[in-house]
Amino acid sequence: MSILVSGSVALDHIMVFPDQFANHILPEKVHALNVSFNITSLKTHFGGVAANIAYHLRLLGGEPLILATVGSDFAPYASWLDEQGIRRDHIRVYDDVRTPQGFVTTDLDDCQIWAFYEGAMARSHEARVEDVDDSLELAIVSSNGKQAMIEHARALKARGVPTYIDPSHGLPLLGRDELVELIEGSAGYFVNDYEWALTLERTGLAEGDLEKRCEAVIITFGPKGSEVRSGGERVAVPPVTAAKVVDPTGCGDAFRAGFLYGVSTGRSLDAAARMGNLYGSLQVGVEGTQSLRLGLEDFRAHYSDAFGTRL
């Protein structure tokens, strides 16, 4: 059975600023912000939240199925997905626009500033869950056009597919009622700690109330690990210290892939989160969101080293 991954398929233009943003931004002047960062490194990688998650699922032997929209410049990316054995029969191509593009600048503290050109993603709702005939084990609705996120989640829940919600970069697009609807009845809600605070502010609901509306809330804290909240319980999941930190871009996507793979193979939620923490720590050690190279046996060995138990 397949894991449906909906969201963006994009080209990532990754830039490195050899300093800290904080040294160049005056807090008392943010209302009139006008800054320029001299970039020493610029590289382009295949990316996008859905494709990144699918890539990491596939490394472990998962069967991801991407639901997305792309543009006229998709051919090289299509060849890359074919090489990785990732299905793209539900990726719709539009010749009158370009594939979405992400532009990220990362400083020496791993802080990031993103700009995103949506391109074909503006029509992402035209790639419909109803057109997917495959049997689906579970699904994740990741950052995408607002209409697509809402409609995909509705269709998947109506179909009875355990559906995880991961708005990430798309969170600011959502109004109060739209966000509550996405969370309601989902198998899980993925956020980092900033996004969780934004979720609480945006919905106006208490933490306990939101947690009751879905089966699990999974909160990541970067190098401090993660937390799983489910059934009124909160489990802190220890971090895995990265052997080296090269590029934090895509760390969250790797976490989600590890978690989804864990759930799909019958692991408990906290074990799945440990797999996510491990995957994230491995991802930050490479440059580019689809550059990590390992197989399931390698992953199991890393898991045993990190947690002292077999996967």
DSSP characters for 203-271? H---HHHHHHTSS-EEEE-GGG-EEEEETTEEEEE-----S--S--TTHHHHHHHHHHHHHHTT--HHH
Element (H, E) at 191: strand 188-192
110 tagged catalytic: no
Q: Per the residue annotation, which of 253, 270, 298, 305 is the catalytic one? A: 253
Phi-psi region at 99: left, alpha or beta (left = phi > 0; alpha = psi -120 to 50): beta
If one counts every other C-beta atom within 10 angstroms of the C-beta of residue 165, the result is 26
CA-to-CA separations, 97 to 14, 30, 44, 68, 71, in angstroms, rounded: 22, 34, 19, 14, 5
- Annotated catalytic residues are 253
